[in-house]
Amino acid sequence: MADSIKIFAPATVANVACGFDIFGLAVDNPGDEVVLSKREDDQIIIQEITGDEGKLTKDPEKNTVTVPVLRYLEKLGIKQGFDVRLHKKMPLGSGLGSSSASSVAGVFAANKLLGNPMETKDLLPFSMEGERVACGAAHADNVAPALLGGFVIIRSYDPLDFVQIKTPSELYVSIVHPDIEVNTKDARIILRQEAILKKIIAQTGNVAGLVVGLMTDNYPLIGRSMTDYLIEPNRSILIPYFNEVKQTALNHGALGASISGAGPSIFAFSKGKETAEKVGVEMKKVFAKGGIETNLFVSGINQNGPRILD
């Protein structure tokens, strides 16, 4: 059995407009890379972190890669040490599930090096512990698709119950990441707690509509269901030019657009890669006019989740 492994885990779009904390999907790129190597002793040591501009902790009890690995080893009752190298390939605080990709890559790598004592799906609760250290809430809408691939619905958190659904093959995502940072913890605090029945009814209709639209390749239904009545109105104020970017995406043929996770990235769904690329370029232009640099990622739905790099 190998003593060292390099794993890529993908970025994700969480919430997907109307499914706060319950919907997430994986994309092909970007993603994070984690190299895990077995040690002779039982210590977990973070040897190297690149691409984080020195922002991430190397304390194994606080880092999003190592916390899931530690909880996983405790659960198995295995005393195995690892050297950890984390290569961040996407911006922190971007709304692309940056911490989740790291958490998933770490625990997936550990499970592989130990000969897969657990099924991949059973690694989810450990990956969620990475989210707890990153933003104070062990939400699963980023880690589940990063781990399992595809589009995942978290039906319940207590007990944890999730299901992957099929998505149309011509569905593409354009994600524009503006060069600003939104801290997920802050983005959760500003959400108003009051429950407004009318909005909940409208939101629930969209949640059901989006699931059916995805499962039946009904692109217009997907588009109609992508209005978020509960979260986007509050959070969009953290993202300059949000309304213009969204409207531009719709004007250029996107099915719908919203905030990716806690933001500041904005994603749009389109039918077909060509439209998705056009939509992405036009969204970028709005930010550029306002003097904000962006990265653009265009991807289908990544059905695979983590993969071994070497």
Give the residue nearest to ligand HSE (CB): 261
- H or E stretch including 102? helix 98-113
How far is the CA of 77 from the CAs of 68, 70, 173, in angstroms? 14, 10, 41
Q: How far apart are the first and last CA of the chain?
A: 14
Largest CA distance in the chain: 59
d(CA 31, CA 272): 22
Residue list 160-189, contact with ligand HSE (CB under 6 A): 184, 187-188
Window 250-269: contact mask with ligand HSE (x via CB under 6 A): -----------xx-------
Cβ of residue 300: shortest distance to ligand HSE, in angstroms? 21
Q: What are the angstrom distances between the C-alpha of 123 and each of 9, 72, 76, 100, 117?
A: 13, 8, 12, 12, 10
* 129 or 141: CB nearest ligand HSE: 141
Q: What is the DSSP letter of 198?
A: H
Binding map of ligand HSE across residues 57-96, x = CB under 6 A, - = no contact: --------------------------------------x-
Q: Which amino acid, 167? A: T
131 catalytic, yes or no? yes
Phi-psi region of 110 (alpha: psi -120 to 50; beta: other; left: phi over 0): alpha
* Binds ligand HSE (CB under 6 A): choice among 5, 8, 15, 124: 15
What is the smallest separation between the CB atom of 170 and ligand HSE, expressed in angstroms?
26
Q: How many residues does the chain have?
A: 310
Please select the residue that binds ligand HSE; options are 5, 18, 126, 139, rule is CB under 6 A: 139
Q: Is 275 a catalytic residue?
A: no
* Torsion on CA atoms 135, 207, 303, 51, rounded to nearest 10: -30
Shortest distance, position 43 Cβ to ligand HSE, whole Å: 31
Considering the rule CB under 6 A, would residue 141 count as an interface residue with ligand HSE? yes
Residue 291 C-beta: closest distance to ligand HSE, Å: 26
Say how many C-beta atoms besides its own lie within 10 A of residue 70's C-beta: 20
CB 73 to ligand HSE: min, Å = 26
The catalytic residue positions are 131, 184
Q: Which residues of the chain form contacts with ligand HSE (CB under 6 A)? A: 14-15, 20-21, 95, 97, 139, 141-142, 184, 187-188, 261-262
